[in-house]
Amino acid sequence: MKLLVTGGAGFIGSNFIRHVLAARKDYALVNYDKLTYAGNLANLGEVAGRENQAVFAYLDGRSLWRPAAGRLRG
């Protein structure tokens, strides 16, 4: 299953991502975060290495939604 997580670099979102990746090996996650005051990619340091395994991906939410949404297909 594929999940889109918005705000995944924040406290709650990053804990959700770590929980899902630990509990469900068959899930693939895309983290879409604007990285405002609450978002910090360091919160995802331990899962960032999984980007090459097609299990976890990060999209920078500071870009416009429409171009970023096109990268979610697939």
Instruction: Check if the beta carbon of residue 59 is closer than 8 Å to that of residue 72.
Output: yes
> Where does the pLDDT of residue 16 fall: very low under 50, low under 70, confident under 90, or very high at 90 and above?
very high
Instruction: Check if the beta carbon of residue 58 is closer than 8 Å to that of residue 49.
Output: no
- Alpha carbons 17 and 74: distance in angstroms, whole number: 20
pLDDT at 12 over 90: yes
On whether the 2-70 domain is CATH 3.40.50.720, my answer is yes
In eight-state DSSP terms, residue 52 is: G
- Whole-angstrom CA distances from 50 to 18, 25, 40 are 11, 12, 17
- Alpha carbons 39 and 8: distance in angstroms, whole number: 8
Angle CA 35–41–61, to nearest 5? 35
Q: What pTM value is reported for the model?
A: 0.73
Q: pLDDT by residue (tens digit) across 22-70? A: 888 888 888 888 888 888 888 888 887 665 455 667 777 766 555 555 6
